[in-house]
Amino acid sequence: MLAKPVKEIPNGAMSFEPKWDGFRSIIFRDGDEVEIGSRNEKPMTRYFPEVVEAVRAILPERCVIDGEIIVIGSSGDRLDFEALQQRIHPAASRVKMLSEHTPARFVAFDLLALGDVDYTQRPFAERRAALAEALSSAPPPIHLTAATTDRTVAALWFNQFEGAGLDGLMAKPLDGRYQPDKRTMFKVKHERTADCVVGGYRLHKSGPDAIGSLLLGLYNDDGTLASVGVIGAFPMQRRRELFDELQELVTTFDDHPWAWASQQDGTRTPRNAEGSRWAVGKDLSFTPLRPERVVEVRYDHMEGVRFRHTAQFVRWRPDRNPESCTYEQLEEPVNFDLADVLGADR
C-alpha cells in the first residue's frame, strides 16, 4: 500500500506515525521459513541475515507484516540511510561482515496476516491493535512503530523526529483497508529551501542539446565548493532552454572548484569522491560551469553534507552572490535522539 504526498498534516480520524527512512519491506514468516520482499517485490532476504534470525526468534510463528528495515548510524542517535544502502551487496562474505558491523533493524507498522487470519480487509485501527498485541513484548532488533491519534502530538513529532534522521510523518485513516498499490495513506515530508551554486550539468538521455540535471554546491568554511546534490525535474522544452542559457558559463576543469573531476576523463563527480557504490557502472560525466549562477531549491532534509533526495527547482537568484551560498544558511533540525523515537509513546 502506498502513500499520497500532502503539504500539511491531514485532519480526520487518523493514526499518525514517523516516516522511517529505510527500505520498505514486507516480512513473510511460516515457521522457520522467512522471506523479506521489497516494495518492488524484489527478494531482500539474503542481504539481512540478522533480521531473518530475529524474525524467527521474535515474530509470531505464522504472519505477514509490513514495515521498514533501518540502520542506526555509528553515533547511535540517528538513522544512516547510506550505511543501509551498502548492505545490498552481491558477495556473501561482505553481506555477513556488514550484518555484524552495521546490523539492521525492522520497524513494524502494519499487519496483513496472523496465523490463518487475513487482516487486509479489516480497518487499520483493528490491524494496529492486533499488531501491537502480537509485538507487545518484542525486543530489539524488532520494533513496533510509534503511533498516535492526536494531531497535536503528531505535529510535535513532525518537528522533533527530523533530528533523528526521519523523513517526516505518515497519516493512515483508521477505517482504511489494506489496498496494495493504492495511495490511501498520506505522507508529509520536511521541506526546506536553500540558495545553491550551479557548478555543472549533465545532459539528458534524449540527446546532446537538453539538460538532464544541474549539479549544486555550497561553500564550506574553508571556501571549498562542496557538492550537495542535483535538480533535474524540468519539462523537455525547459531542458533545451536551459542548455542554451548555460552555454556562456561552460568552462574547463583547469580552474574549476571541482577540477579534480577531470581525472579519469571527467567521468567522476563530487558525489563519487567518497567511493560510494551507487555510482558503479553509471556515466557520471558532467560539463563544468563557472560557479556564477545561484538557484533557490527546495529539499526535504540533509544527510551528512548532502540533500537526501533530488532537490526541486524554485527560482533563479540573479542578485545573490555565489560566495554567500554556504551551509550556514541551512536551517538545522531539532536535535533528537533516535532512541526517543523507537521508545515513543504508543
Please give the Cα distance from 8 to 104 (Å, whole number). 31
Looking at 190, 222, 237, the residue that finishes a domain is 190
Q: Clarify whether residues 240 and 184 are in a common domain.
A: no
- Predicted confidence (pLDDT) at residue 270 exceeds the cutoff of 60: no
Residue 180 lies in a domain: yes
Tell whether 344 is covered by a domain: no
Is 80 part of a structural domain of the chain?
yes
Residue 246's identity, in one-letter code, is L
How many structural domains are present in the chain?
A: 2
120 and 269 fall within a common domain: no
| Same domain membership, residue 121 and residue 251 | no
Lowest mean pLDDT among 67-76, 108-117, 183-192, 265-274: 265-274
Q: Does residue 209 fall inside a structural domain?
A: yes
Q: Are 188 and 223 in contact (CB under 8 A)?
A: no
Domain that holds residue 210: 192-329
Over 50: is that where the pLDDT of 92 sits?
yes
Task: Tell me the pLDDT tens digit for each residue of 158-185.
Answer: 988 888 888 899 999 999 999 999 999 9
CA dist., res. 21 & res. 166, Å (int)? 5
The predicted pLDDT at position 283 comes to: 62
Do 227 and 253 lie in a common domain?
Answer: yes
pLDDT at 284 over 80: no
Q: Are residues 13 and 91 in the same domain?
A: yes
Confidence bin at 77 (pLDDT 50/70/90): confident
**pTM of the predicted structure, to 2 decimals:** 0.76
Considering the domain architecture, whether residues 183 and 201 belong to the same structural domain is answered as: no
Cα 155 from chain centroid (whole Å): 20
What are the cell numbers at 48?
A: 539481512
pLDDT digits (tens, 9 = 90+) for 41-66: 889 999 999 999 999 999 999 999 99
On whether residue 338 sits in a domain, the answer given is no
The CATH code of the domain that includes 87 is 3.30.470.30
Same domain, 179 and 249: no
Same domain, yes or no: 179 and 271: no
pLDDT of residue 256: 92
Catalytic-residue membership of 187: no
235 and 289 both lie in a single domain? yes
pLDDT at 344: 57
Q: Does 151 score more than 90 pLDDT?
A: yes
The answer to whether 58 touches 108, Cβ cutoff 8 Å, is no
Would residue 340 count as lying in a domain?
no
Boundary residue ending a domain (130, 164, 190): 190
Residue-level pLDDT at 263: 61
pLDDT greater than 60 at residue 131: yes
**Residues 219 and 265 occupy one common structural domain:** yes
**Which CATH number covers residue 198?**
2.40.50.140
- Residues 200, 294, single domain; the answer is yes
Task: Let me know: does 313 contact 234? Beta carbons within 8 Å.
Answer: yes
**pLDDT exceeds cutoff 80 at 35:** yes
Q: What is the pLDDT of residues 223-267, one digit of tens each?
A: 999 999 999 999 999 999 999 999 999 999 988 999 877 765 444
Q: What is the mean pLDDT of residues 151-163?
A: 91
81-89: list long-range contacts, CB under 8 Å, 24+ apart: 81/21, 81/22, 81/165, 81/303, 81/308, 82/276, 82/303, 82/304, 84/22, 84/23, 85/277, 85/278, 86/277, 87/47, 87/48, 88/47, 89/47, 89/277
* Residue 84 falls inside a structural domain: yes
Q: Are residues 62 and 210 in the same domain?
A: no
The predicted-structure confidence for 290-336, as pLDDT tens digits, reads as follows 999 999 999 987 877 888 789 999 999 999 999 999 999 887 777 78
Share of the chain above pLDDT 90, in %: 73
Question: Which of 190, 214, 242 is the last residue before a domain boundary?
Answer: 190
Question: Stretch 118-124: mean pLDDT, rounded?
Answer: 98
Phi/psi of residue 314, nearest 5 degrees: -110, -60
**Is 336 contained in some domain?**
no
Given 19, 42, 187, 282, the catalytic residue: 19
